[in-house]
């Protein structure tokens, strides 16, 4: 098993771990990253595939995602994004959207993404299920559950949003639990489908959701979380410090404006 190496600079928000591995891809891929479920998807994939990479921190609470140089790579001003210096025909290529990135890395390395069309279609549908359903709904629930109570004067709005999206997350958990019945992984062998889904479920606690109602999902969550590559990828987040989105400090209010307010319209 190859071992990851990290080089850290100065303050936590500016640290740039560089992961070096022996791989058919000798030049590191730049990952534009922050410590969110979407960011973790790509570092997990690179760790699993043995792809060398260099972290380019994008502090989303500080507004780094609106910098012109980042928008040139990710026009939707969202992480993650990558630049592969050895793209098709040996020319650099940039990609945004985690599903597109995972498919690209899977095709290039030939790992964790089936080569046959039937197997690939099986994986793809769950990749898009996460991108269109689980990620957005879990994110909205997290907003109303964790951040909105301090931002909205009318707590009835908060309660409705938390209940509405919490119910939808529970429904989606049921979909995934049924899918995993009798299966070790989401789409046959361990694949990019597991890598894209897991980071959105891993941080959720039993206090927030009754995971005893989803035994197959819970077993899968633990199974994926026990993988060495997943552990290495998740540990990278400790090198970065995020602005708290809860509280009344000016720093918190500024981050809320950047992430949730009209500051996004740049």
Question: CB atoms < 10 A from the CB of 222, how many?
Answer: 10
On whether residue 6 sits in a domain, the answer given is no
What pairs with residue 84 in β-bridges? 93
| Same domain (yes/no): 22, 107 | yes
Residues 127 and 224 placed together within one structural domain of the fold: yes
- How distant is the alpha carbon of residue 3 from its chain centre? 22
Q: Which two tokens stand for residue 151?
A: 């931002």
Looking at the fold, whether 135 and 216 belong to one and the same domain comes out as: yes
Structure tokens at 204: 């959720």
Residue 4 within any structural domain of the chain: no
Domain membership of residue 3 (yes or no) is no
> Which tokens sit at 214?
């989803």
Bridge partners of 55? 31
The two structure tokens encoding residue 81: 């994004």
Q: Between 90 and 248, where is the model more confident?
A: 90
- Identify whether 98 is part of a domain: yes
Residue 195 lies in a domain: yes
User: Does 77 lie in the same domain as 31?
Assistant: yes
CATH of the domain at 132: 1.20.1050.10
97 within domain boundaries: yes
pLDDT at 229: 98
Q: pLDDT digits over 43-68, tens only?
A: 999 999 999 999 999 998 889 999 99
For the chain, what is the domain count?
2
Q: Give the burial string for 81-109 (b: 16+ CB within 10 Å, else e).
A: bbbbeebeeeeeeebbebbebbbbbbebb
Structural domain that includes position 88: 12-113+242-264
Token look-up 């769950």 returns 126
Q: What is the pLDDT of residues 199-241, one digit of tens each?
A: 999 989 877 899 999 999 999 999 999 999 999 999 998 887 6
Same domain, 134 and 195: yes
């Amino acid at each position: 098993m190859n071992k990851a190496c990290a080089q850290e600079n100065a303050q936590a928000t500016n640290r740039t771990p560089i992961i070096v591995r022996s791989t058919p891809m000798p030049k590191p891929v730049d990952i534009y990253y922050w410590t969110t479920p979407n960011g973790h998807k790509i570092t997990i994939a690179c760790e699993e595939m043995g792809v060398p990479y260099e972290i380019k921190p994008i502090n989303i609470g500080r507004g780094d995602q609106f910098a012109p140089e980042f928008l040139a790579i990710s026009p939707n001003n969202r992480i993650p994004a990558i630049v592969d210096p050895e793209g098709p025909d040996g020319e650099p290529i940039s990609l945004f959207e985690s599903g597109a990135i995972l498919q690209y890395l899977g095709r290039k390395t030939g790992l964790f993404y089936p080569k046959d069309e039937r197997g690939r279609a099986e994986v793809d549908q769950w990749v898009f299920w996460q991108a269109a359903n689980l990620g957005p709904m879990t994110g909205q629930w997290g907003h109303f559950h964790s951040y909105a109570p301090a931002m909205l004067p009318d707590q009835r709005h908060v309660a409705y949003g938390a209940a509405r999206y919490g119910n939808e997350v529970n429904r989606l958990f049921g979909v995934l639990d049924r899918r995993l019945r009798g299966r070790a992984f989401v789409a046959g062998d361990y694949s990019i489908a597991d890598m894209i889904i897991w980071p959105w479920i891993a941080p959720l606690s039993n206090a927030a959701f009754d995971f005893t109602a989803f035994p197959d999902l819970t077993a899968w969550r633990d199974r994926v979380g026990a993988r060495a590559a997943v552990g290495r990828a998740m540990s990278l987040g400790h090198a970065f410090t995020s602005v708290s989105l809860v509280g009344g400090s000016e720093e918190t209010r500024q981050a809320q404006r950047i992430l949730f307010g009209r500051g996004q319209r740049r």
